[in-house]
């Protein structure tokens, strides 16, 4: 599963970066040339684009992989416990 997630992130990375850069430049123009009226809105949008891109690219994929491996590990451990409990019942 980690290899599949890595391939998926690699395949979409260029699109993500291009989209983020387009929005980044647009919000930068709003931030620096938009005047006082748009300054706060543009700043929040600017920070949101950076945070969202970072989160989408690096944090979300790692969390999904870790969570999936954790759940799979729990399922395997549960299966082992059930198998051992079944064997113990057969012996006694």
Report pLDDT for 21. Answer: 92
- CA 92 – CA 78 distance, rounded (Å): 21
State the DSSP H helix or E strand holding residue 19, giving kind and residue range, or none if neither. helix 2-33
Measured in degrees and rounded to the nearest 5, phi and psi for residue 84 equal: -65, -40
Instruction: Judge contact between 25 and 89, C-beta under 8 A.
Output: no
At residue 47, the pLDDT reads 92
Give the per-residue pLDDT at 88.
61
Which residue reads 């994929």 in tokens?
A: 61
| Three-point CA angle 25, 28, 31, nearest 5° | 155
Nearest Cα neighbor of 12 from 67, 58, 46 is 58
Residue 51's pLDDT is: 92
Q: Where are the domains of the chain?
A: 2-91
Per-residue pLDDT of the chain (92 residues; tens, 9 = 90+): 778 888 888 888 889 889 999 999 999 898 889 888 888 999 999 899 999 989 888 888 888 888 888 888 887 777 777 777 666 666 55
């Amino acid at each position: 599963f980690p290899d599949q997630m890595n391939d998926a992130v690699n395949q979409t990375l260029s699109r993500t970066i291009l989209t983020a850069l387009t929005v980044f430049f647009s919000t930068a123009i709003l931030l620096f040339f938009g005047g006082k009226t748009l300054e706060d809105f543009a700043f929040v949008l600017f920070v949101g684009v950076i945070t969202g891109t970072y989160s989408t690219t690096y944090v979300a994929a790692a969390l999904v992989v870790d969570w999936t491996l954790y759940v799979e590990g729990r399922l395997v451990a549960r299966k082992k416990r059930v198998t051992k409990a079944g064997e113990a019942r057969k012996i006694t």
